[in-house]
Amino acid sequence: MRIQGYEMRAVGEPLALSSRDIGDPGPGQALVEVAGCGVCHTDLGFLFEGVPVRHALPLVLGHEVAGKVVAQGPGDRTLLGQSVIVPAVMPCGECALCRRGRGDICKAQLFPGNDDHGGFASHVLVPARALCEVPQGSVDDAGLARLSVVADAVSTAYEAVRKSGLEQGDFAIFVGAGGVGGFGVQIARALGARVLAIDVDAERLALLARHGAEWTLNAREHEAKDLKKKVRDIAKEARLPGVMWKVFETSGTGPGQETAFNLLVHGAYLGIVGFHPGAVTVRLSNVMAFAARAEGTWGCAPERYPELLRLVLDGRVAVEPFVEAFPMSHINDVFARLRRHELRRRPVLIPDFAS
């Protein structure tokens, strides 16, 4: 069959409409008809900042995909006609690293829109074993499209929170409250934490005050030293310990990363989730002096998707107020507006290709 999509041909150039022929899915593969594909700042990094992709150009970007399986090769799982979410990071499941539980660094992992053609397309060909089934009747077509953000923004936040060892009553701080950070705030709250959201966008903070954040701080209104004092005051007034904070850097900016690092306290956990291509200046010895721990998060294991999807379907993590749908034919305008920080919600592109 013939697949249509918007491919990256060179850094800085507009994405171009293209088409290509593919054969039937091979063993273990599934062909997913795209219902929606979210736009991530990583996509902007590939297109505008020269962040390298692992597949030769031209390449169809897009790694937040939800849709329906319309064809399938031989394999153990029968998914034909099933609504699914395509994980952003799909380990091979067979290598020594995967057997040790380190699929996040599997050398044979598949990242759509990076290792192979992604979801800014009519269809995407992916490993069937990794797909997360969406329960029948749980969402309509529009709802399925919105669930595309589960593939990265929600799942990566979930994995970061899980790795931190967060427990009920812990103090969780998210630096950067858009995209991954906004969902991280909700996930931490759903798991019983008391949550502070820090951002530079007052509208975004106001939204999160209604969706999981017990406190919000606008970083524009505080110098770095004053900001940490304000956070300490919040913890003290709430009778929260002044140690072992769970701090998550989800802004993907240099100032955000420095802010998050400066919030380290004794026994703190620093989850580095946002991607920033530039350098930052921090005093690394603080990790030693505070007996703290800093850890990165790359994707989320596919086997954890059903449990995090339940948080969304049960209404404990809201998606609707945090996403905005656009026709996929508007992709270059959406990318430009997102780059100019004109969009407050995560864009989801809905295929509207001519038949």
**Sign of the alpha-carbon torsion through 112, 117, 121, 126:** negative
Give the residue extent of every domain in the chain: 2-152+300-350, 156-296
Q: What is the pTM of this model?
A: 0.95
Helix (H) or strand (E) holding 124: strand 123-127
Level-2 CATH architecture, domain 2-152+300-350: Alpha-Beta Complex (3.90)
Residue 76 has pLDDT above 80, yes or no: no
Structure confidence at residue 150 (pLDDT): 97
Q: How large is the average pLDDT for residues 247-263? A: 96
Q: How large is the average pLDDT for residues 282-302? A: 96
Structure confidence at residue 253 (pLDDT): 93
- The pLDDT > 70 percentage for the chain reads 100
Q: 78: which 2 tokens?
A: 């029968």
pLDDT tens per residue across span 132-186: 999 999 999 999 999 999 999 999 999 999 999 999 999 999 999 989 999 999 9
Residue 274 has pLDDT above 80, yes or no: yes
pLDDT tens per residue across span 24-42: 999 999 999 999 999 999 9
Whole-angstrom distance, CA of residue 246 vs CA of residue 161: 9
State in words which class domain 156-296 has. Answer: alpha beta
How far is residue 196 CA from its own chain's centroid? Answer: 19
